[in-house]
Amino acid sequence: MSDSPTPRKRFHHVGLRAHEPQPDENLVAPSKCWVTDPADHPSRIEYLRYAPDCPIEPEFMDAPHVAWEVDELEPHLAGKEVYLPPFEVGEPPFATVAFTKEDGLFVEYMQFKPGRRWFGD
């Protein structure tokens, strides 16, 4: 058994694919994907809509993901299958995110910039 503490994580949202434009979408330029703010949904759902030339694999686009807010990304990525390496979101960036695949599920880890929460805040 390890003596090192388990890194802290807090539930942030569940991501689901959308095929039609959604109200108040924001573009995540690196992934060519539009997303909604999960804080605006009563069940903390983020809808993702992908551009036709999106570089993301269909396996990811068609699967739900769960997202966690973390203080640091690296402890949550160590030893895991990293599906999408860390990248910044927003202009200016409000978070650095990375995706892993754990037990067949895509998992997003989000490290927010101080004082930031989402696009345009």
The pLDDT tens digits of the residues spanning 37-70 come to 999 999 999 999 999 999 999 999 999 999 999 9
Tell me the pLDDT of the chain averaged across its residues.
Answer: 93
Q: Which ranges of the chain does DSSP label H, i.e. alpha helix?
A: 58-61, 74-77
Of the candidates 77, 45, 51, the one whose C-alpha atom is nearest the C-alpha of residue 64 is 45
Q: How is 31-56 classified by DSSP, letter by letter?
A: GTEEE--GGGSTT-EEEEEE-TT--S
Question: Residue 1: its pLDDT value, please?
Answer: 46
Q: By the 8 A CB rule, do 66 and 72 touch?
A: no
Q: Is 116 helix (H, G, I), strand (E, B) or coil?
A: coil
Residue 2: band (very low, low, confident or very high) from pLDDT cuts 50, 70, 90: low
Give the sign of the dihedral formed by CA 21, CA 61, CA 55, CA 26.
Answer: positive
Question: Residue 3: its pLDDT value, please?
Answer: 59
Q: How is 79-102 classified by DSSP, letter by letter?
A: TSEEEEEEEEETTTT-EEEEEEEE
Residue 31: band (very low, low, confident or very high) from pLDDT cuts 50, 70, 90: confident
Decide which of 3.10.180.10, 3.40.50.720, 3.50.50.60, 3.40.50.300 is the CATH code for 9-112.
3.10.180.10
Residue identified by tokens 């903390």 is 44
Q: Tokens representing 115?
A: 């004082």
Q: By the 8 A CB rule, do 66 and 110 touch?
A: no
Rounded mean pLDDT of 90-117? Answer: 95
